[in-house]
Amino acid sequence: MAIKATIFKAELQVSDLDRGHFATHALTIARHPSETDERMMVRLLAFALNADEHLEFGRGLSAEDEADLVKRDLTGAIELWIEVGLPDEREVRKASGRAREVKVYTYGGRAAALWWAQNHEALARLKNLTVVDIPEDITDIVGNLAARNMRFDCTIQEGQLWLSHGGETMQFEPRVLR
């Protein structure tokens, strides 16, 4: 019998001064049994950085040909395709052909740097691709904040992100690689 996904609930209040998006999002996140808390929380950070009423979580690791997060327009066309981690370069190219905009959020320190060194030339041809690295020290911290019920306040201004949880606030700047 297969192990089922674990369901997490998150209330995410986003004040994105850069994009003019201010909303509270009640999120349900399914964590695949093989997914780490760190990866799931990077998906949550990716949601915060791109928050929109039409952005939703994909089926994640259980569906190979599906985005980690996706935003569709009213016709069902994919406006934004978001991958988290170190995706295969061929999958990123395929997503680039299916969506108006593609974003990859890497994490993992040295592993992410190695992935970027191996793939940046091939990915340079994709005009609708943005690659962002989340610092390893931040992903370590947010990975430890994973709980079945969570509440975060997120403020984004001038590329900086402030994330508050339980009276603690951390600040970092996601590093745009491309």
Strand, helix or coil at 150?
strand
Q: Cβ contacts of residue 169 below 8 Å, gap of 6+?
A: 162, 163
Do 49 and 161 meet the contact criterion of CB atoms below 8 Å apart?
yes
For helices 37-49 and 136-143, give the axis angle rounded to 10 degrees: 110
CATH of 6-176, one of 3.10.640.10, 3.40.50.300, 1.20.1530.20, 3.30.360.10: 3.10.640.10
Q: What is the pLDDT of residues 74-116, one digit of tens each?
A: 999 999 999 999 999 999 999 999 999 999 999 999 999 999 9
**Alpha-carbon gap, residue 178 to 123, rounded angstroms:** 9
What is the mean pLDDT of the segment spanning 122-143?
A: 95
For residue 26 the two structure tokens come to 């009640």
Residue 146 has pLDDT above 80, yes or no: yes
**Alpha-carbon gap, residue 70 to 56, rounded angstroms:** 6
The secondary structure of residue 60, as a DSSP letter, is: G
Do 109 and 138 meet the contact criterion of CB atoms below 8 Å apart?
no
pLDDT of 3:
76
For residue 107 the two structure tokens come to 């994490």
pLDDT of 58:
85
Task: Grade residue 1 by pLDDT with cuts at 50, 70 and 90.
Answer: low
How do the domains of the chain map onto residue ranges?
A: 6-176
Do 7 and 36 meet the contact criterion of CB atoms below 8 Å apart?
no
Strand, helix or coil at 41?
helix
What is the mean pLDDT of the segment spanning 111-129?
A: 95
Residue 2 has pLDDT above 90, yes or no: no
**Alpha-carbon gap, residue 131 to 151, rounded angstroms:** 27
pTM, entire model: 0.93
Q: What is the pLDDT of residues 26-75, one digit of tens each?
A: 999 999 888 999 999 999 999 999 999 999 998 655 556 789 999 999 99
Residue 40 amino acid letter: M
